[in-house]
């Protein structure tokens, strides 16, 4: 099956990559393609989240994208902990909110803001034709 065909078939489908953790697939996005094929993104960071966080802990996920690490962290810290997810890209933000809601996570707070080390205005460059992970 070609990548284009795969994209058409899977785009918008829900995928449970871990028990109770759901992502609505955008099959054109490299991160989400990788999660679909390997059930994870960035094995080293996934391992760090899974081995470091425990019940009652807190995590701030800056640049949360569609929420892969937000979802993992939320499940690890359980209801006693909390996750703050920061994402400014409106396309990723919409999907992040959907993924958190569909996974029924109640310990996640999502903020529609950008973070940077300066106190001036910055531009967010969005490519409407590109996968979510290719925007800055």
Helices (H) and strands (E) in the chain, counts: 5, 5
| Burial classification of residue 53, based on how many CB atoms lie within 10 Å of its CB (0-12 exposed, 13-18 middle, 19 or more buried) | buried
Domain limits of the chain?
A: 3-134
pTM for this entry: 0.86
pLDDT in tens, 2-22: 566 666 666 788 999 999 999
**Could you give the 3-state DSSP secondary structure of residue 86?**
strand
**With respect to CATH, is domain 3-134 assigned 3.40.50?**
yes
Comparing CA positions, the residue from 83, 85, 82, 131 lying closest to residue 112 is 85
pLDDT in tens, 93-121: 999 999 999 999 999 999 999 888 888 88
């Amino acid at each position: 099956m070609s990548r284009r065909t795969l994209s058409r078939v899977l785009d918008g489908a829900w995928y449970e990559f871990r028990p109770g953790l759901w992502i609505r697939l955008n099959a054109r996005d490299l991160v989400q393609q990788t999660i679909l094929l390997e059930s994870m993104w960035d094995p080293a960071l996934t391992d760090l989240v899974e081995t470091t966080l425990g019940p009652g802990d807190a995590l701030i996920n800056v640049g949360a994208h569609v929420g892969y690490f937000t979802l993992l962290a939320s499940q690890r810290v359980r209801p006693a902990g909390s996750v703050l997810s920061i994402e400014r890209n409106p396309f990723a933000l919409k999907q992040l909110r959907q993924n958190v809601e569909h996974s029924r996570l109640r310990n996640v707070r999502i903020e529609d803001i950008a973070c940077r080390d300066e106190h001036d205005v910055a531009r967010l460059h969005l490519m409407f034709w590109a996968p979510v992970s290719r925007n800055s």
